[in-house]
Amino acid sequence: MNTNIMGVLNVTPDSFSDGGKYFNPETALAHARELVSQGATIIDVGGESTRPGADRVHPDEEQSRVLPVIAALTAEGIAVSIDTVNASTAKLAVAAGASVINDVSGGTADPEMLRVAAETGATLVLMHWRGIPDPQHNKSGYHDVVSEVRAELAALAGSAIAAGVQPDKIILDPGLGFDKTAAQGWQLLGQIDQIASLGYPLLIGISRKRMLRETLPESASDPLDLARLDGATATVSAFMAGVWGVRVHAVRASADAIAIAAALQTGAAKTPVSNSTEAVASAATQSDGFTQDRITLTGLEVFAHHGVFDFEREQGQSFFIDADISVDLRAAAAGDELAATVHYGELADAILAAVKRDPVDLIETLAERVAQVALSYAAVREARITVHKPDAPIDAKFADVSVTIVRRRGDAR
């Protein structure tokens, strides 16, 4: 999966890192074009700051800031997202050409937001938050931040689907810096596979966040300026390469980091296996560069309500999933380390959750969904997925019907 680079364009006088710099529409357009030239695939246009203590902006004022910029950018063929919690702004932004609604409230700030997203058909980014960022962390009391954020994101996605948003239009964002301490933010990133196991693409926004400032050393002779923060952001972007998108202020650094990460992944996949005893798993490579080491999970039974016919969706039936994934197992075998492989129990749970989600007509669609879940695990290079439908409504006598697809990391979606 290619990683989108979402370039931040704050058309505001008071955003926390660049407030006022691009408040003028012409200056904003020039900066957006520069971000695109540096590798941005989406420009995220915002007209209201979410920094701690920021004053709320009336939707009319927000719209006067962002709509002319969105219209001009989309007229030039530039993909745009609207960063807003206001449904009226989102609706007008999509009408002006925006294809993504990026709602930091996860659709909770405005009761009309989910309906607008459903009606417009825009891609919807649902971010986890518990309100405007609170530097005192009065809302950061998690017992288990990963499981709680995961559960709350799943609930947000469920609400969006119930409102009519198509599941393939939903992107999830763990909400780094929004009522989470630095330690909690790093815990979320370190276990991002747990969030990805929900089956939705992910957007990561760590650019210039406080958690970077609290982690990096600083001294009078070596201050934490924007250059250092952007370098740290690029490092995180490299580690996150493969997610749906990263939201950044300094596009060039993150674009370069992601390109290098992709090259390293490709190089690692194509490294010939040593004949020494260090190659414990004997992971010979295929001519296309993918390791022959496999983890195979077969016959995973899921009762779900998929099918072309109404009675299939009403009554439901059993589906069986086979997942054959390519993972370099040498490090896991050498160190007897679970962290160096894929936890097949967690993979099974993630597949179950993905198949049990909203009904679809085709098992081809299910197979694609499961493949993307498998590829969300950083160690997985290739996923061969078979979906069996033994109770398919076919008049002829038959034993089984199935669809098999093969997807590789880096394939265009």
CA–CA separation, 307 and 292 (whole Å): 34
CA–CA separation, 245 and 251 (whole Å): 12
Query: DSSP class of residue 337?
Result: -
Domain end: 218, 247, 265, which one?
A: 265
The candidate with the shortest Cα–Cα distance to 153, out of 112, 215, 107, is 107
| 369 shares a domain with 226 | no
CA–CA separation, 80 and 298 (whole Å): 41
| 346 shares a domain with 238 | no
Q: What are phi and psi of 23, to 5 degrees?
A: -70, -35
| 210 shares a domain with 316 | no
The one-letter amino acid at 73: L
| 306 shares a domain with 244 | no
| 107 shares a domain with 41 | yes
Is 49 inside a domain boundary?
yes
Is 167 inside a domain boundary?
yes
Tell whether pTM > 0.75. no
pLDDT in tens, 212-243: 988 998 877 778 888 888 899 998 998 888 89
Q: What are phi and psi of 102, to 5 degrees?
A: -110, 100
Is 339 inside a domain boundary?
yes
Task: Determine the pLDDT at residue 412.
Answer: 44
| 322 shares a domain with 251 | no
Task: Determine the pLDDT at residue 281.
Answer: 29
Higher pLDDT, 272 or 196: 196
The candidate with the shortest Cα–Cα distance to 234, out of 217, 218, 211, 250, is 250
Q: In this structure, are strands 317-326 and 294-304 parallel, antiparallel, or unpaired?
A: antiparallel
Rounded to 5, what percent of the chain is helix, strand, coil?
A: 40, 20, 40
Domain end: 227, 245, 265, which one?
A: 265
| 106 shares a domain with 56 | yes
Take residue 117 and report the two structure tokens written for it: 């997203």
DSSP conformation letters of 40-57: -SEEEEESS--STTPPP-
Take residue 40 and report the two structure tokens written for it: 């941005």
Q: Are 397 and 384 in contact (CB under 8 A)?
A: no
Sheet bearing 317-326, strands edge to edge: 294-304, 317-326, 382-388, 402-408
| 35 shares a domain with 109 | yes
Domain count, the chain: 2
- What pairs with residue 46 in β-bridges? 10, 83
Q: Are 316 and 305 in contact (CB under 8 A)?
A: yes
Instruction: Give the total residue count for the chain.
Output: 413
Residue 298, SS3 per DSSP: strand
Is 87 inside a domain boundary?
yes
The one-letter amino acid at 344: Y
**Residue span of the structural domain in which 215 resides:** 4-265
| 328 shares a domain with 207 | no
Is 273 inside a domain boundary?
no
Higher pLDDT, 339 or 30: 30
Q: Are 4 and 44 in contact (CB under 8 A)?
A: no
The one-letter amino acid at 324: D
Domain end: 246, 265, 284, which one?
A: 265
Residue 269's pLDDT band (cuts 50, 70, 90): low
Is 284 inside a domain boundary?
no
| 214 shares a domain with 132 | yes
CATH assignment at residue 92: 3.20.20.20
**Which range is least confidently modeled, 17-26, 78-87, 159-168, 398-407?**
17-26
Most confident of 18-32, 51-65, 69-83, 273-287: 69-83
Average pLDDT for 374-399: 89
CA torsion 91-93-94-98 (nearest 10°) is -150
Is 280 inside a domain boundary?
no
What angle do the packed helices 145-162 and 182-190 form, to 10 degrees?
Answer: 70
> Biggest alpha carbon distance in the chain?
79
Most confident of 11-15, 177-181, 236-240, 360-364: 360-364
Average pLDDT for 109-117: 96
Is 285 inside a domain boundary?
no
CA–CA separation, 211 and 182 (whole Å): 4
Active site residues: 209, 247
| 106 shares a domain with 239 | yes
CATH assignment at residue 360: 3.30.1130.10
| 246 shares a domain with 132 | yes
